[in-house]
Amino acid sequence: MVPVLYILFILAVAPVFLAGIAVRCRLKQFGHIDNNHPRAQQSQLEGLGARAMSAQQNAWEAAIVFVSTVFIAFAAGVPLQALTLPALIYLLFRTLHALFYLLDLATLRSLAYCGGLFTCVYIVSVAAVSG
């Protein structure tokens, strides 16, 4: 199978791992999970838990952009195999983004975000040239 499809899957499940970190932080901070009002409880998280929730939300948002980017390239006739290196670079940037978010390294996190975004712009530009 084409590597970009595996990368799409990894990006789709990555937010679940970040949510797991947030859940552990909720248990540690509050002593229980409020399943009746989970978003209210999540909004009260501090420190690592709050950063994990924010990283999770950003990961979902970024996944939508990347999926759209890959679809544009596919629709333009770009062979999916040609997207392997850009997809791996994107995955690296997104992994670093999550790590920097958790470690509270805001400047590096922003740079990783921009790197991922520019990777998407590159893929769309390849699609524009081939389409």
Phi, psi of 94 (to 5 degrees): -70, -35
Q: What is the pTM of this model?
A: 0.93
> 1 pLDDT band (50/70/90 cuts)?
confident
Dist. CA 62–CA 12, nearest whole Å = 10
Residue 26 belongs to what H/E stretch?
Answer: helix 3-30
Other CB atoms within 10 Å distance of the CB of residue 50? 17
Cα separations in angstroms, 4 against 34, 52, 74, 96, 110: 37, 26, 11, 18, 24
> Domains of the chain, with CATH numbers?
3-130 (1.20.120.550)
Average pLDDT on 38-47 reads 93
